[in-house]
Structure 1
């Protein structure tokens, strides 16, 4: 299904690679067989749908020889992993190099420095890409690419429904053919304009893209665009909320429209910073597969900010309390405005869901993905496959299977995502908005403008609804690669042991 490697953007891209068959006489065959054994054992142990996949049943093979024969039927560990996934699983993926994947989770990528999305059309195979945002100082920024720039070709190849997931999936330089948009009597038309050649280099992205205060005549409004629930951003998040407190903001707008997920712990933290809810209030409940059901647990909001140690881990004492913490600069709000899109997934949705029973969560934008499941990085290490330090030194393969489902304190899940009310269902993908290219944080942005209008009651912030028939034909392609929502290995080790 999905495979992780160093990518050309901040979001993960699905790539299919066909491996070579095993040679039973070679040392490589023994190594591949070892990887396949790890994949099978780890999936049997952890996979959320283990009971629904016949090949993963504990009584499926009467002896090791039959299991070995089954494993030999797959060319490599990745093909086996894909074959073991449940039909409804959209989000488990194979990891080519777990060290590169760890860098990606920390916002370090070999990248162009542009986060992009795609637009599809009714009754057409054509696809148009667009720049969601540009990372300052990145190759895309140096090349002059702007937010909401459109592109129709990558390295001279037209984008379509068959290739758009692959054309930007490597870590090389690319040339984008930019285009302009206009309305016609038949809908919308795109005209190629210039080309932008963009280099690829290591890009470090701060998930807090923008944090500022908008001071209207009567109201101080905090605005934050947060693009990934990175566990190395806890101190920065807390500092940003300290600034909000120092400026005495009255309302908060949290922009998660491009946030595809991240660590559950960071979602717990940001929910707590917004609401002031602490560890006496339930954030949600985790449920695992039947074999691990004795570890089903309730998780809570936080009363302190957990911080990583020098090795990037969150240490706990014997009572399960975090060792390295700092006081929390929470706002104690009873309402928050959240901006959403088809790129809002997983840990972002968990934040919305966890706060829903306690405070008013006003959604503005378009429908979210609907990923109420969490994953875990599993290594070729002794059971329970969590300790990277004890992983097989001969390779860096790992897997990221779905291992849990999460509901909030009221028992609510979100398999279909969250949809804003009709009056707040607003897309940034309109002809008018793409032509204007409003900056992130500008009141001219239609999602932010709607939030400001609701808060202030001033219609000057409200963008007029587009009457262009062509824009109604455009639809954001489903974000095929949300970052996901995952447990940290040390969280799982605390629950399941080493």
Structure 2
């Protein structure tokens, strides 16, 4: 009798186990559930979905699992978790109100402050663009440790800088709202040349920019220099706002074409359509902006290695319509757009939601020009660190501004360029060691799956 009993019990156990759900694969909020959802989204939307990394470890932490899926050449896709500061990034400008680079000359390595956010603590203490910094938190900076010191300092409540003359700056950590428009002025009267410095693309600067443009119109500005050298991007709608306000374009001209994988539709946006993405509280229309605009047929753009994302998109998007004269150095090379995909309640359960930000589109202009992942090269190559000390933003002695004015002068009058007034230094390679620098993603909505 024992043998049949054992057989029946064993069979019953097998049937019972087959009917039970595996809690590790179906429990809302578990790593396995979140990771399975993540893999499905990436297979659908990710630009490089045919190059997704293979991993069978669904029990990994979701951020590690996501990173293992990424194509090795993708340096931009991210994953964040609600209220988990460990998954977010801070920058020197939004945390301590300044930024800096490391420059290698023929005989020394120096650290230079490149920008100080107006009215930040550092600004009020007297920290200035061009200041040379020797120590961070009592540790001397050398050629190999700057990034490490910045990484260690960003999470701290304060950061201490020591200037070469010995002055100390104790900067408190806080959220710093950076103004969009740092400077706007006339930098030449014959011909009349206007200058604006845009730190980022954000609608908080819309009315200030409108006011400046109205002033430029009253002064009959003939040429315009737009300084984007430290602009990491921002709102695509604000880039469209700038284009409509400054350039000789039409509202329904194509601003950008987006190319995705086989699963999602390619799309294109006009300047007017892109403007519709403006945030709540703003209701600009393309027609009204054009009425107030400058309608320039040529714009000078000042760029460098920190010119990225939507600022590159603005330059590329305007190129088929107006003459974009680029002065400075090659840009960062962010020619991708992302989308944000958030775990639904049935996936994250009682846990905090996860937000995937995968790259889903390559960006092109109306003429099909794009593929600038290695940066956009200027027609007029000029190194802002070739002449030191650095001068204030908007100062006509600045090498990039001087080169723009020289080019404008040659185009309009055929006259020789301006003489260099600042001291020249023999720079080997400017090293942009500011690890806190981050591009601001171009965020778009993912389109529906294409018909197969």
* TM-score normalised according to structure 2 size: 0.79
Give 1:138's aligned residue.
Answer: 120
How far the C-alpha of 1:286 sits from its partner, in A, is: 0.2
Cα distance in 2 for residues equivalent to 1:365 and 1:177: 29
Equivalent positions of 1:281-430 (< 5 A) are 281-292=253-264, 295-302=265-272, 306=276, 308=278, 310=280, 326-328=288-290, 329-381=292-344, 394-413=351-370, 414-421=372-379, 424-430=380-386
Moved over 6 A (4+): 98-101, 322-325
Cα distance in 2 for residues equivalent to 1:163 and 1:324: 46
Change (3 A) 1:400 1:148: farther
Gaps of 5+ in 2: 1-22
Equivalent positions of 1:31-42 (< 5 A) are 31-42=30-41
- Structure with larger Rg: 2
Equivalent residues of 1:234, 1:306 under 8 A apart: no
Give 1:18's aligned residue.
Answer: none
How far the C-alpha of 1:486 sits from its partner, in A, is: 1.4
How far the C-alpha of 1:147 sits from its partner, in A, is: 0.5
Picking from 167, 185, 190, the partner of 1:212 is 185
Q: Are 1:482 and 2:438 an aligned pair?
A: yes
Change (3 A) 1:296 1:452: same
Cα distance in 1 for residues equivalent to 2:396 and 2:229: 16
Change (3 A) 1:97 1:119: farther
Cα distance per residue 1:138-161 (max 9 Å; x no partner) = 111122211021223321234425
After superposition, the CA RMSD in angstroms is: 3.8
How far the C-alpha of 1:313 sits from its partner, in A, is: 8.4
Cα distance in 1 for residues equivalent to 2:424 and 2:140: 29
Picking from 109, 123, 129, the partner of 1:147 is 129
Give 1:12's aligned residue.
Answer: none
How far the C-alpha of 1:219 sits from its partner, in A, is: 2.2
Give 1:275's aligned residue.
Answer: 247
How far the C-alpha of 1:482 sits from its partner, in A, is: 3.5
Cα distance per residue 1:43-91 (max 9 Å; x no partner) = 2332111122153xxxxxxxxxxx9x6311x2x1111111111011011
How far the C-alpha of 1:381 sits from its partner, in A, is: 2.9
How far the C-alpha of 1:175 sits from its partner, in A, is: 0.7
Equivalent residues of 1:453, 1:461 under 8 A apart: yes
Secondary structure of the structure 1 residue equivalent to 2:114: strand
Cα distance in 1 for residues equivalent to 2:323 and 2:287: 28
Equivalent residues of 1:253, 1:337 under 8 A apart: yes
Cα distance in 2 for residues equivalent to 1:408 and 1:343: 21
Q: Are 1:117 and 2:72 an aligned pair?
A: no
Change (3 A) 1:207 1:393: farther
* TM-score normalised according to structure 1 size: 0.72
Secondary structure of the structure 1 residue equivalent to 2:186: strand
How far the C-alpha of 1:100 sits from its partner, in A, is: 8.2
Cα distance in 2 for residues equivalent to 1:171 and 1:207: 26
Cα distance in 2 for residues equivalent to 1:227 and 1:167: 25
Cα distance per residue 1:251-283 (max 9 Å; x no partner) = 110000001112222222222222131233222
Give 2:15's aligned residue.
Answer: none
Cα distance in 2 for residues equivalent to 1:459 and 1:372: 36
